[in-house]
Structure 1
Amino acid sequence: MEEKNMNEEKVASFSEFLSLIKSTNLNKGLFIFAVVLTLFGTVGGLIVPLLTQTFIDGFNTSMITTPILVAIILVFLGSAIIDGFAYYLLGRVGQTVIQGLREVIWDKFLKLPVSYFDQTKSGESVSRIVSDTSIIKDLITSHFPNLISGLLTIVGSIVILFILDWKMTLIMFIALPIGIAVVLPLGRRMGKVSKRLQDETATFTGNTQETLSEIRLMKSYTGEKYERVQGRKGIKELYKYGMKEVKIQALISPIMSTIMMTVIISVIGYGGIRVADGTLTIGTMVAFLLLLFQVMMPMTMFAMFFTEYNKALGATDRIIGILKLDDEMTKEVVPEIPFNTIQFHNVDFSYVEGTPVLHDVNITLNKNEKCAFVGPSGSGKSTIFALIERYYELDGGKITIDGVDVLDIPISMLRGNIGYVAQESAIISGTILDNITYGLDKDSYTMDDVNYAIERSYAKSFIDALEDGVHTEVGERGVKLSGGQRQRIGIARAFLKDPKILMLDEATASLDSQSERFVQEALDQLMQNRTVLIIAHRLSTVVNSDILYFLENGKITGRGTHQELMENHEMYRTFTEQQFGES
């Protein structure tokens, strides 16, 4: 069954490969110039056998003069320099193409909806932009220049071979159909195996990245044994498909060597007979053999090129698959919106078809009102935030801001007016300053603005205590900072952004009492004069909200002030009594 599935693996066509390369704005002029230089370099290499023939057949000491020696040396040096420069230019073209291709893929990743990343491990996406493009890069920068040079060498050599002796040249062509008949099916097989290998590499990369990013979880729960087993499973899969590649290459190499040896022996045998009966000179025989080697050496390289070409087609198919995905829907026309009031109109939503997460949700959120969402875990509170930011498309109903459907608001404008502080603020590798200013244009703020945000977020005291201040490196995901410090940096980021809509998702839930006090004071400052949405399991943080929405199984089952819900909503009253009773 596995073999059958592997045989059905799709690879891209040559036309799709060319279209992908053209999309990177290939410098055709530079490419053609490099090919022309390769042609000149090849001509220099073809002169050598003819000079050899001349020396052997008509050698005498009077032929060795200084001008002739200088000319021969210049031909050799010129040919080598031209070859090297042509190879450099072709390599530069290839590197430029891959740079453009990686930029296209990266830009595409940034435009894809959140739902794509929900379904795809980040390591797999990284594999597409690194591993798959590297395969195409190797084809263009290494194998393709050799192909061009080899083709020109073969064509020039064959022309000269026919001129020297057409009968001996025909012997060489006997083996050509055999080589093609063997290499083509093996090359196609190699492409399919390579595609599966790249898929397994992407999966393994994703799993490895996930494990290493959660290394503390693994160690604290002594998950080394489990991860060892899972990691070795992935490594064995890579080994299995790697060995399939090795087996195919092990077939191609001896087959091509056998064909080459057969041709050489046949030519030497036939040529020896011709030299013995006087119909062929020794010089011509030697020149013929030299030219024959110039034909045979690229033929071996062609077999490798063909396997790499099929690998590149497999990589191309995966890249095209990503480029064909739909971007996030956005508008270019910018409406006039003050971003004061958010409304949900009969909103239905599900992450998986047939499993509703929100059903018939109707809510209104106004500026200068603190609106809180409460309810049991899994009731859909965080989903409401995700839908406001348009991370997902609705199944039914609509969401409006000041009467304008969010689908008609450019995404950059929508999200540019939303500030989000999560239970654990996301921190990137870099400095504290990098994190506070993340996503903002450098000309949109000053250091005075940054310092103001730091002060308002109650982050100044701990930042000033650091040796490098705002230029302190925080480590991957902010591991060098405490939870409270990370939260205050996240709040400083929101202050600097100065959003019209502020969403707080359990922003103080994971903090100790001292950190919570600092963070809550910062949040109180941040919430002023905005449309504020809060998710909280601890009701003590939201009892003073202007309006609370209680969610159960994706439905709004209660709305009102804390007092109104205490009087009219049994489950809310139970939640409140449980929490305050425990305290």
Structure 2
Amino acid sequence: MDTKTSLKDFVALLRQTRLNKGLFATGIFLTLIGTIGSLIVPLLTQSFIDGYDSELFSNGLIALIIVVFVLSAALDGVAYYILARIGQTIILRLRERVWEKFLKLPIRYFDQTKSGESVSRVVNDTAIIKDLITSHFPQLISGIISVIGAVVILFVLDWRMSMIMFIAVPVSIVIILPLGRKMSRISRALQDETAAFTGVIQETLSEMRLVKSFNGEAFERNKGQRGIRSLYGYGMKEATINAFLSPIMSTVMMFVIILIIAYGGVRVAEGTLSMGTMVAFLLYLFQIIMPMTMFAMFFTEYNKALGATERIIGILDKEEEDEDESVSGEVIDFNTLTFEDVAFGYEPSKEILHRISLTASNGQKVAFVGPSGSGKSTIFALIERYYDIDAGSIAVDGTDIRNIPLSTLRRQIGYVAQESAIISGTIRDNITYGLGEDEYTDADVDLAVRRSYSHEFIEMLDQGLDTEVGERGIKLSGGQRQRIGIARAFLKDPKLLMLDEATASLDSRSEKFVQEALDDLMQGRTVLVIAHRLSTIINSDRIFFLDNGHITGEGTHHELMENHAMYRIFTEQQFG
């Protein structure tokens, strides 16, 4: 599929990075000065060979040639550094913008997009744009000036010989344009395939224990090889085009050089052309040939950059989570949480929750029970506003949660999942995650550690709270990760606590510690609990039974045992 992105879109994206136009212009200007210097060298060489001014020659024409050459090279070096700095600044700001955008995107985006593809956008696509700005674009400007300057000087030197060069122009255009268009399509496809392959690799590496445990090496080997071979195929298509392009262009240019040497040799023999002019002519010809081959490469890289621009703009234009900071109120009490006729589906045509209505009040423990897939975890996701409901309303103290700033809403919610999420870093980093340094003290952290019973194992570690936990907390046991998650919730001190089967995957000893910590954490808060183990929610103030997205029963444990057949079956299956 051809990209719909234009040069205008590319420039608009660069403007968003607050490009230093003055510094960029300086880099281009120095590039032009260096190019002009390189155009002077052949003329000085002509004077040197023809010996037009022996006095000038004796006084240092060679030194002048060297000075011009060295100065030109030095200016090119300074220009390269300036443009490289600009390019690095552009990629810095682009990556910052894309990364910040990712953090503002709703959960639905991450449900639909592999993390590896997003990583590729931040790393690979921005690098392509940087390369175009810092390397290929300056080469294009320098090449254009070099070609124009060389052509003008050549016509001044000898217009008859200059006309021979134009034999190559139509031939080059006929070759470069169709191959360039095909190359751009292949390059964009290669970018997409690279992003997809990055996603597959990252997913596999992050779940290597699953791969090893279920002997999935053969499956992953085949999946990886398919991606690798697909990348190889696109790479070979690029190589094939380059294999045609380079030799053909070289042959055309060599043919032109041979014609000029032959014709120029005849002119020199006749005395109508000096040897110095002949040498200068060849030097200028090489200054034309080199940029001409580079133009084809620029066309390919330019189309790559347009493809990268399209993808980055596509991310930056995505709808963000609705963070309405204009709504007043930094604290909400969560005295009452109300669902009224709430309907929701992850897909428009497939409703998950059907007209759910319920109320949870401050100090209450409200439990949700039901078969897997009945919508229990979806209710928690809607309270956090990971997704917005399709119908009805969810309100806190009478205010629709869609009218409460997300940061304010989520600041008052503590969530402990079946497996607490752990980031790489230290235990302290994980307990204080999401809080500013002014929001807690070391004493608060120590208290959270003790109340969560985490001190029981932290004190046995050499580094204590500063112990590195590894990627996703791999160095910790399941019970230890859960207690760190509970310590995090203690430190956050939320008004609403949501527990999603928080002890379901623990051994009996770990469950004892975690359950005691949870009982302490639940005091004085509104508590919502999802549990398959009914023993953990028998004493709940209210129990809602969900089945296929409907609330089919509500009440206390004893009321549901008397009035709800499915709940009674659930209980008898667990307790006999």
The TM-score with structure 1 as length reference comes to 0.96
Kindly report which structure 2 residues correspond to 1:437-452, keeping only aligned pairs within 5 A, or say none: 437-452=432-447
- Write the distance in 2 (CA, Å) between the matches of 1:107 and 1:327: 11
Deviates more, 1:415-424 or 1:316-325: 316-325
Residue 394 of structure 2 corresponds to residue 399 of structure 1: yes
Residue 46 of structure 2 corresponds to residue 25 of structure 1: no
- Write the distance in 2 (CA, Å) between the matches of 1:531 and 1:164: 90
Q: Which amino acid aligns with 1:87?
A: Y
Select which of 233, 236, 257 maps to 1:240: 233
- Look up the match of 1:531: 526
Quote the offset at 1:329 in angstroms: 1.8
Residue 345 of structure 2 corresponds to residue 350 of structure 1: yes
- Look up the match of 1:261: 254
Select which of 485, 490, 495 maps to 2:480: 485
Percentage identity across aligned positions?
A: 66
Quote the offset at 1:470 in angstroms: 0.7
- Look up the match of 2:86: 93
- Write the distance in 1 (CA, Å) between the matches of 2:241 and 2:316: 31
Residue 502 of structure 2 corresponds to residue 502 of structure 1: no
Q: Which amino acid aligns with 1:262?
A: F
Select which of 515, 518, 531 maps to 1:520: 515
Select which of 191, 198, 203 maps to 1:198: 191
- Look up the match of 1:5: none
Q: Which amino acid aligns with 1:111?
A: K
SS of the residue corresponding to residue 552 of structure 2 reads: strand
Quote the offset at 1:137 in angstroms: 1.9
Select which of 40, 46, 55 maps to 2:33: 40
Q: Which amino acid aligns with 1:515?
A: S
Please give the per-residue CA displacement for 1:236-292, whole angstroms capped at 9, x wherever unaligned.
111111111111111211221122112212222222222222221111111111011
- Look up the match of 2:568: 573
SS of the residue corresponding to residue 166 of structure 2 reads: helix
Please give the per-residue CA displacement for 1:285-308, whole angstroms capped at 9, x wherever unaligned.
111110110111111111111111
Q: Which amino acid aligns with 1:183?
A: I
Kindly report which structure 2 residues correspond to 1:364-513, keeping only aligned pairs within 5 A, or say none: 364-513=359-508
Quote the offset at 1:70 in angstroms: 4.5
Select which of 354, 357, 379 maps to 1:359: 354
- Look up the match of 1:148: 141
Residue 340 of structure 2 corresponds to residue 321 of structure 1: no
Please give the per-residue CA displacement for 1:509-550, whole angstroms capped at 9, x wherever unaligned.
111111111111111111112111110000000011111111
Unaligned runs of 5+ in 2: none
- Look up the match of 1:126: 119
SS of the residue corresponding to residue 353 of structure 1 reads: coil
Are 2:45 and 2:65, in contact at CA under 8 Å, matched by a contact in 1? no
Q: Which amino acid aligns with 1:146?
A: Q
Are 2:44 and 2:61, in contact at CA under 8 Å, matched by a contact in 1? no
Are 1:192 and 1:314, in contact at CA under 8 Å, matched by a contact in 2? no
Quote the offset at 1:65 in angstroms: 4.5
- Write the distance in 2 (CA, Å) between the matches of 1:442 and 1:183: 59
- Look up the match of 2:168: 175
Please give the per-residue CA displacement for 1:445-489, whole angstroms capped at 9, x wherever unaligned.
121111111111111121111000111010111111011100011
Quote the offset at 1:155 in angstroms: 2.2
Aligned length: 574
SS of the residue corresponding to residue 273 of structure 2 reads: coil
Quote the offset at 1:433 in angstroms: 0.9
Kindly report which structure 2 residues correspond to 1:101-120, keeping only aligned pairs within 5 A, or say none: 101-120=94-113
- Cα distance 1:470–1:141, how it changes in 2: closer, same or farther (>3 A)? same
Deviates more, 1:478-487 or 1:522-531: 522-531
- Write the distance in 2 (CA, Å) between the matches of 1:66 and 1:90: 38
The TM-score with structure 2 as length reference comes to 0.97
SS of the residue corresponding to residue 261 of structure 1 reads: helix
- Write the distance in 2 (CA, Å) between the matches of 1:352 and 1:130: 31
Are 2:48 and 2:61, in contact at CA under 8 Å, matched by a contact in 1? no
SS of the residue corresponding to residue 333 of structure 1 reads: coil
Quote the offset at 1:327 in angstroms: 1.0
Quote the offset at 1:82 in angstroms: 1.0
Quote the offset at 1:182 in angstroms: 1.9
SS of the residue corresponding to residue 346 of structure 1 reads: strand
Q: Which amino acid aligns with 1:382?
A: S
Are 1:330 and 1:407, in contact at CA under 8 Å, matched by a contact in 2? no
Quote the offset at 1:60 in angstroms: 7.5
Are 2:343 and 2:390, in contact at CA under 8 Å, matched by a contact in 1? yes
RMSD: 1.5
- Write the distance in 1 (CA, Å) between the matches of 2:542 and 2:10: 57
Q: Which amino acid aligns with 2:137?
A: F
Are 1:17 and 1:313, in contact at CA under 8 Å, matched by a contact in 2? yes
Quote the offset at 1:61 in angstroms: 6.4
Please give the per-residue CA displacement for 1:13-64, whole angstroms capped at 9, x wherever unaligned.
2221111122111111100011111111112211110111001111676544
- Look up the match of 2:283: 290
